[in-house]
Chain A
Amino acid sequence: MHNHIDFETRYVMCVDIDKCTGCGACMVSCQAENNIAPMEDGSNKLKTLTWMLVYELNNGKNFPDREVAYLPRPCMQCENPACVPVCPVVATAKDEEGGIVSQIYPRCIGCRYCMAACPYHARYFGWFDPKWPEGMDKTLSPMTSTRPRGVVEKCNFCHTRLMNARQRARQEGVDPLKMPEDWYQPACVESCPSGAITFGDINNPEHKVHELAHSKYAFRLLEKLGMDPQVYYISRREWVRKQADHHTAEEKH
């Protein structure tokens, strides 16, 4: 049913869960980069917005055997996105080099079909008009257009940074499809103090993710669904890897 496009470049993110301390720097830098306004009531998780969200996992055991892990969750930019075919107005699409799933706010009618379709809960609805307290509006970034209330938004791997990198490539005479890894890095990757996130083009052997994604400790979330996310996780702990998919008690895996 999907029309799969073989992109020459495919940007992927690799998150080393064993390095993530759950500090939330990725979430904060994402909000600053993408003009997500401070919420009136941040504790109301049904109505707040976070393109990047850190989940806490645990191994289900009690002290002293208890272990926790943190899992940062952006939009997976799925190869076969569930969110795209359901959109009645083509406000979201996967059709451009890099494989990033687009989201066009002025076109979105806010029906939220895509939110219902996305199994990763990566999409958010704007319940309120964004408001920046006086003075804080000076921190608005030119990288992302602001959204009014009533439309859906999601992580786009800081797409404007990719556009800027391509512009630089043209200026410096480099092929925009074969840019060095450090020319395009999303905000969360840059701000992670423990270096848990690696980002690059999986089709480019010079990019670290090319190898990382094929490590024996690498996995993706809900791989069983066949949506082929462009976000990989790495953990050397088996209990973490196990939680990436739903398994029934009788199932052998």
Chain B
Amino acid sequence: MEEKRASKQCGGVLPFFIGVLASLIIGWWVFPQVLYSQKAQPFNFSHKVHVDGEGMDCESCHTYAEDGSFNGLPSNAVCADCHSEDVLGDTKDEEIFVTEYLQKDKEVPWLVYQYQPDNVYFSHKAHEGFECTDCHPDLGNSDTLPAYYENRISGYSKQTMKMWQCERCHAEVGTSNACYICHK
């Protein structure tokens, strides 16, 4: 009698390991898949064509305002400096840009990989000494834009910089890590 119950309770180690395995798979693979929705950019933009092909650098389009604050994404007006009304190249993407956005006077709703939450104050001016790619994905050499992953709960991008990354660098270079250095 005793023996029987013991063996029934135990059920072998197999169910236990199956449980652990299932939890691991759910935790490490299924949940992250479910948590982020994948979004595509309105159309593809090749940084490489502009950098390698046209000899432009980051600052040709990504600039500061007079007070040192970052200007955000280049607007249609910046693109129109070269892509006036006509399609220059032969890619489908450029055609989409010119006909769907430029000619219709509509700004492109780019998805920004690195938008920070509202309570973060970030000054590009203060970080001018660093390479853009120390924090940003190195898109300058890529032909395609990566997929954008949006956290379904918070709405933030998965690719955005995390607080521990900011803090680690501040600690390494000896900058203060006081809350009000970055928060508002």
Whether B68 contacts A143 by the Cβ 8 Å rule is: no
Binds B, one of A98-106, A196-204, A235-243: A98-106
Contact (Cβ within 8 A) A143 B184: yes
- The listed residue (B125, B176, B180, B183) touching A167 by CB distance below 8 A is B125
Q: B122-142 vs A: 1/0 string, CB under 8 Å?
A: 010110100000000000000
The interface size of chain A toward B, counting residues with CB under 8 Å, comes to 24
Size band of the B side of the interface?
20 to 34
B121 touches A163 (CB 8 A): yes
Nearest chain B residue, comparing its CB with the CB of A107: B179
Contact status A159-B180, CB under 8 Å: yes
Contacting B126 at CB < 8 Å: which of A105, A144, A167?
A167
B66 to chain A, nearest CB (A): 8
Do B181 and A167 have beta carbons less than 8 Å apart? no
Closest residue on chain B to residue A143 by CB atoms = B184
Which B residues are CB-close (under 8 A) to A171?
A: 64, 66-68, 125
In the complex with contacts A102-B178, A104-B179, A164-B67 CB distance below 8 A: yes
The docked-state distance in angstroms from the alpha carbon of A171 to that of B70 is 12
Closest chain B residue, CB of each to CB of A146: B118
Q: Does B60 contact A (CB under 8 A)?
A: no
Mask: chain A, 46-90; 1 = CB below 8 Å from B; 0 = not: 000000000000000000000000000000000000000000000
- Cβ-closest chain B residue relative to A162: B180
C-alpha spacing A200/B117, complex, angstroms: 30
> Would you list which residues of chain A between 162 and 221 have a CB under 8 Å from chain B?
163-164, 166-168, 170-171
Whether B119 is near chain A, meaning CB under 8 Å from some CB there, is: yes
Instruction: Indicate whether A100 sits within 8 Å of B180 (C-beta atoms), given known contacts A167-B67, A170-B68, A170-B125.
Output: yes
Contacting pair B121 A160 (CB below 8 A): yes
Alpha-carbon gap, A251 to B111, bound state (A)? 67
**Is A93 a contact of B179 with CB atoms below 8 Å?**
yes
Q: Assess the A163–B118 pair: CB atoms within 8 A.
A: no
Q: Verify if A137 is at the interface (C-beta below 8 Å from B).
A: no
Q: Which residues of B contact A168 (CB under 8 A)?
A: 67-68
Alpha-carbon separation in the docked complex, A171 to B121 (Å): 17
Please report the C-alpha to C-alpha distance between residue A170 and residue B128 in the assembled complex, in whole angstroms: 10
Tell whether B69 is near chain A: CB-to-CB under 8 Å: yes
Instruction: Determine the distance from Cα of A159 to Cα of B119 in the docked complex, in whole angstroms.
Output: 12
Residues on A with C-beta less than 8 A from B69 are 164, 167
- Between A and B, 19 residue pairs with Cβ closer than 8 Å are A95-B178, A95-B179, A96-B179, A100-B180, A102-B180, A104-B183, A105-B119, A106-B119, A107-B179, A145-B117, A145-B118, A145-B119, A159-B184, A164-B67, A164-B69, A167-B68, A168-B68, A170-B68, A171-B68
With A95-B176, A100-B180, A160-B184 given, can you name 10 additional A-B contacts, CB distance below 8 Å?
A: A95-B180, A97-B176, A102-B183, A106-B119, A143-B184, A144-B184, A145-B117, A145-B118, A159-B184, A160-B121
B residues adjacent to A (C-beta < 8 A): 64, 66-69, 117-119, 121, 123, 125-126, 128, 176, 178-181, 183-184
